[in-house]
A and B are shown apart, each in its own frame.
Chain A
């Protein structure tokens, strides 16, 4: 039997054993079944009838052949199946990442949703810090009024550790950013299903108003009011204006907002800042409230109270959208006492979600004669986690900044505060400085309007780092840092001389450069109509050219395509001259000259790529001084010759004339540094 087993295999051996007893057959059956010897097992089953009968060699051979053959078949089948399974084995599930884009739904999508912009042609996903493109897909705009239902395949994209993810909706061959979204600390990995929500918004810019500028003596005839250039649609100083810088008609007046109405009159928005994720807009009204606006539909989500006695003048948001600071002071500021207040909002997320009040921490700024402290003018969140607050006299005052008195050191201080505790950690004395910011390399950027850069004709400079780069920047009181680029708008660097007509200058410092890229645009003249009553009565207009420019607020879109600039343009006659010729008195042959000084306030939209001005809205005029006297061959007689500028006249309406408002609260969604 051992020979049989050796020769014919275990199956046949067992089969040969069956002739002995049925018990052995059952044993063989169980064993073959357990060992999965299916062919032998089947043969044992067939062998059942032959229990007890001797086997002959023919049957053993047949069993052998069958068993061997079946083993071979079984083996080949297993091999084939194994190879087939191996070949057909499916790779592990790689998982996927879904980017769920949320934008303004209908009916507001036509003006607020980037997805409805017909110019949208593609969407991009970029790293929020490095700006590296992670994925890109072509995209066709969703018709306005239709709920989007789009799935776009991005293909395979690299797995990601936690990072800030920025989504862009671009148009015009990728040059125009029509929409953005920012999600923080998102990640996706292999084998996981990840859902990432992206709140897509248009990069809207905003500006607010201020108290209305009221003339001391309005002209008896409004036709002679020098306010013809005020842009009528923007006359209401209480509205927060919404501008789409990428639209052909940038003013989205349908979404202008008013806040804190009392007695039917809303309170002007005097400070505003957009979060870096674009989902919220913080704004402060003159009524002393801080509002949170949801940018999905531009809806007010609520407010907290600030000190109404100290109106907020600036709001600065942490680039991580975790905190914010509100700077409050009076205009004109006090000299002593509480000159200002710093409110640290330590839980901006809670404030936005309306779960908390933002955990505010107020820091009063006290000033004394012996230790004068300027009001908190500007602030910036430093890379080291502190908040730098710049204490400086506000530049936007009449005849300010007066660089005769503000030149020199120590005219401003930079204080570093702990954003959680409010503890002052550092103090730095500076020349007169009106703005502080940090670029993405962690360098501090200071704007100092009264420091003359060697070689420049007009004072004003921008300092980057510890004097690593010093650039002339006359007429600049604020700066925008976008990435590693700096954007300013100021005055053309020309001598202050009679006959010089000032132009505005757009200055952009590109990354890895040390000189401005400068372009200019003209500023309108100031038209002053008046009536001549002597001689033959007639009406004339005095045109006063711009003589100086000061940009005191700037907001730049995240793609650095456009900027909203608040400008104060000065129009004055040169102090060294007699002024503007008005008329000649025929009997006496005396000549009437008028000296004039006044401001016009502009809201300007500039194209930073072309260096051109696109929109220019005059929203306020403010006459500073007006004096008109006769001149004979001996000089100024001192006799007033222009009743509108004669303080002894019953209606000297040009003295102290003002109208409109001083715009403020220039801000942009997706923040600025």
Chain B
């Protein structure tokens, strides 16, 4: 029985990997067109439209070949960011450009770099316009890079920080990045760099800027694991990588570092434990439907009713056999004092 359970877990794990990989591929496949769509939408002046964030999540069912029905696993489409769990995680990214035409896409590239390499939720101007309206541009421009003013805009956007990219040119292009804490209304980090005229910025360098600004923790990416159960599964203990994470139903999805492989164990007394191995990509939600089944396999043998029933039946059979042999062999000896008699009259 243990071997079969082990093989089942292996199958689940393997399936999970396949599913995760498939989901990641699908997510990538969808992310690019969605990004493109976002670009087009922004280029077209914004507009409502779904971004990848609100794009429909497509779930891919896990394959259940040769697997017992232990639940379902859904991986949120890669690229579909997790909704902002708190306002502090959001960073509003503004640009202050002093008539510099060079590196015009620098803010978009910063946005992308932040999204891909950090766990921060980035609010760029497109998102800000969507939230506050077209006048946000004027407000940002009126701030003229002034810290207090920008924190005000940040408060309206419910951002924790404002990342200000100031681009000026004095022969070389001077880039200044400031991290402004909205609550404290002060700059908490600065970084400046200069670029020769015509010199580009690759992604590595851009990432290096961000690494100078943000602590290493900011570059930890997270994904989420949302565990859902049916009524029978409520009250089950959830373990992720052998660490207890609470009992179902969980109030919030589990936030885990991503990308990463995680072993889920959901167990409940008198139920078969639910195990799953999932791969969580950054900013994705892996939905796990754990339908617990009543215990039938892993109950200790001495707690299984049929074991005792079988033992009892075996004992009864042995006893019955013994009794049969006893009675068969313990038959009273034949009455040798009498013989059948017949009268034959012919």
Contact = CB atoms under 8 A, between A and B. Distances in A.
Interface of A: 79-80, 82-83, 86-89, 91-92, 94-103, 115, 123, 135, 137, 142, 147-159, 188-192, 194
18 contacts: A79-B321, A83-B321, A87-B324, A92-B334, A94-B340, A95-B340, A97-B339, A97-B340, A98-B341, A98-B344, A100-B344, A137-B343, A149-B346, A156-B335, A156-B341, A159-B338, A190-B337, A190-B338
Nearest to B334: A91
Given A79-B321, A99-B344, A148-B345, A158 B338 contact: yes
Contact of B339 (A86, A87, A137, A190): A190
A152 B321 contact: no
Given A83-B321, A83-B328, A86-B329, A154 B335 contact: no
A96 B346 contact: no
A157 B343 CA distance: 12
Given A96-B339, A97-B339, A115 B324 contact: no
A638 B162 CA distance: 197
B192 interface: no
B339 A83 contact: no
A190 B324 CA distance: 27
A157 B335 CA distance: 11
Listed from nearest, the 8 A-B pairs whose CB atoms lie closest are A154-B341, A86-B328, A156-B338, A152-B343, A87-B328, A150-B345, A190-B336, A157-B341
B340 A99 contact: no
Given A94-B340, A158-B338, A190-B337, A101 B321 contact: no
Contacts of A137: 343
B341 A80 contact: no
Interface of B: 321, 324-325, 327-329, 331, 334-346
Provide the main secondary structure of the chain B interface: mixed
Contact of B342 (A87, A154, A192): A154
B325 A82 contact: yes
A260 B50 CA distance: 151
Contact of A96 (B321, B329, B335, B342): B342
B310 to A, nearest CB: 13
Given A150-B345, A159-B339, A190-B337, 15 more contacts: A91-B331, A97-B340, A99-B341, A101-B344, A123-B343, A135-B341, A137-B343, A149-B345, A150-B344, A154-B342, A156-B335, A156-B340, A190-B336, A191-B336, A194-B339
Contact of A80 (B321, B327, B339, B344): B321
Contacts of A149: 345-346
B337 A159 contact: yes
B333 to A, nearest CB: 9
Given A97-B340, A159-B336, A86 B324 contact: yes
Contacts of A189: 339
A135 to B, nearest CB: 6
Given A86-B325, A86-B329, A87-B324, A95 B344 contact: no
A151 B335 CA distance: 24
Contacts of A92: 334
A152 B343 CA distance: 5
A348 to B, nearest CB: 28
